[in-house]
Amino acid sequence: MPRDPDFSNLSHVAVIMDGNGRWAQQRSHLRVWGHIRGAQVVSGIVQEASDLGISELTLYAFSTENWARPINEVRTLFRLLEKFLLRERKRLIDNKVLFRVVGDISVLPVETIELINELENSTKNNRGLKLNFAFNYGGRKEIVETVNKIIAKNEKVTHESIRDNLDLSEVDLLIRTGGEKRISNFLLWQTAYSELYFSSTMWPDFTPEEFKVIIEEYRNRERRFGNISRTSCLEKSNLVAIKNKEIIASLRGN
């Protein structure tokens, strides 16, 4: 049966880039070597996402929990972010990529913060792929800060107000490499109805070809959002739910 294009559409993909340290240790190298090799994978995945027509790609680069790692590993992750910004700046601008970093970047070196701000400003009007780096990011922290932001504006805290005040949109597909099967405090609100894909491939070995295979597998899935039949998005399912609630309420009145 041919796929309905309404259901094969894929807007937002999020990736937990896991397995760098274990990949290095399996080769009798220091963990930081895995992060260095893993950083080289990013540009190919970004390009593949753009080629596949994906609107938004969010990469989990450093979590609020990653501070518990050895200090040399933390410093390496900081340096790799700076090198990525310098190395990929021209490519991102030329390809009309809109680049953003989400998370608390205040802990980064001043030079790195300036590079982030400059690249965000240089790409803010681009209409190509939206590329988000989650750096020093935690899903629980994001939700708490969002609720406090809403309260500070004297607005009511609702599902809609939280959604509208988050930095990132709902995630259609969450991919985690490295063989682990958990979401590790990543985009907790946005992944409530995401499809999940856990790859056993360590991030340094992850290829654009595997990424494309995962996207195709996603497009063959049936997303229902609580319904009993295929539904393109949560909003459409909610409209049906509201209508059914109204019918039940009217029956009670009789």
Catalytic residues: 18, 66
Please report the DSSP string for 180-216 in residue order: ----TTSSTTTTTT-EEEE--S-GGG--HHHHHHHHH
Q: Distance of CA 200 to CAs 17, 175, 206, Å?
A: 12, 11, 10
**Cα(210)–Cα(214) distance, rounded to whole angstroms?**
6
Residue 28 DSSP label: T
Give, in order, the Cα–Cα distances in Å from 107 to each of 19, 36, 125, 175: 24, 21, 27, 27
* Helix (H), strand (E) counts: the chain: 10, 6
Amino acid at 13: V
